[in-house]
Amino acid sequence: MTPTEAIPLLVVVLLLVSIGGGDVGAMSVTFEGDHEVDTRADVHVVAGGTTTVPDDATLDGDVYVIGGTAAVDGTVDGDVTLLNGNLSVSDGATVTGTVQSYSGSATVSPEASVGRVSQFEPPTPSSSPTQRVGGFLLQFLGLAAFGWWLVERHPRVVANVGAAISDHALVSGAVGSLGATSLLVLFVYMAFTLILLPLAIVGLIAEFLVILYGQAAFGYLIGTRLPIERDGVATVAGIGAFLLLLELLGAVPYLGGIAQVALAVVGFGAVLNSYFGLQRFEPVTIPGGS
């Protein structure tokens, strides 16, 4: 697992450590190769490769496995949490806390000394049509209310974002993919310190809101093509059509998910290119170019 691929689970680990009162500044992370665990760290994250707690070593802290393989042959004076990857606790090994498995493959020897073994059972997603429709309506009402307010109060703003989508989709997609990824990496690194963790959480929420802003702009574009005179009502109808399109794409394996991500990054980039709709986006032209 590469550092970029590990970002979502690293965010989860940082939140878990911070909530538990741990020191994220004393954290070690391994990505590739074979390693012995750093016993000086209070928290160790295995994101790739193979990391071993030797049989003659004692780790005073917690271990989080989000990728790769972790082998506990010695003593872990804390908890071991498996979020993804592989975990083995061998004969004679000791884990004083809890071995918690959420996903991945965990093997705990009956000859090992473990405080408690816990297996997370995810709730089975409901296939009830009523709940699916209810969730869709809740999402639609929230986004439609925002879109209606935006068009009625600030029509030029949403028009500028919509123009960046319709006229410069390729540029918006490139800027959106680079911007969203770069900001996500930045917020993760900020979260490695307790001081900046609240700011990183706010940043992640803001990034999500920018994606919703882009979705509202897509709804506006669809609404302008509907035979509805009032812009606010047309935008609400367009947002409903756009969300329905996302639902239909979600039912298509692989390609549908790629299309959903592509729409999200184009909308994200259009918001950035237009400075959140404050000005019309025009690509830079090179004087004398053909």
Q: How is the chain split into domains, by residue range?
A: 3-119, 129-273
Of 58, 63, 47, residue with least CA distance to 1: 47
pLDDT score for 17: 74
Burial 190-219 (b: 16+ CB within 10 A, else e): bbbeeeebeebbebbeeeeebbbbbbbbbb
Q: Each residue's pLDDT tens digit in the chain (290 positions)?
A: 665 566 677 777 777 776 666 666 667 888 888 988 877 778 888 988 899 999 989 998 899 999 889 999 999 999 999 998 999 999 999 999 999 998 889 999 999 999 999 887 665 555 577 888 888 899 999 999 999 999 999 999 999 999 999 999 999 999 999 998 888 878 777 766 656 777 878 888 999 999 999 999 999 999 999 999 999 999 999 999 999 999 999 889 889 889 999 999 999 999 999 999 999 998 876 665 54
Of 37, 90, 93, 92, residue with least CA distance to 65: 37
pLDDT score for 124: 59
Provide the whole-model pTM.
0.64
pLDDT score for 106: 92
DSSP line for 74-89: SEESS-EEESSSEEEE
Half-sphere exposure of 249 toward its Cβ, with a 13 Å CA cutoff?
A: 16
The three-state secondary structure class of 258 is helix
Half-sphere exposure of 73 toward its Cβ, with a 13 Å CA cutoff?
A: 12
pLDDT score for 241: 96
Give all strands (DSSP E) within the chain, no chain letters. 27-30, 34-36, 43-46, 50-53, 58-59, 62-65, 69-72, 75-76, 80-82, 86-89, 94-101, 105-108, 113-119
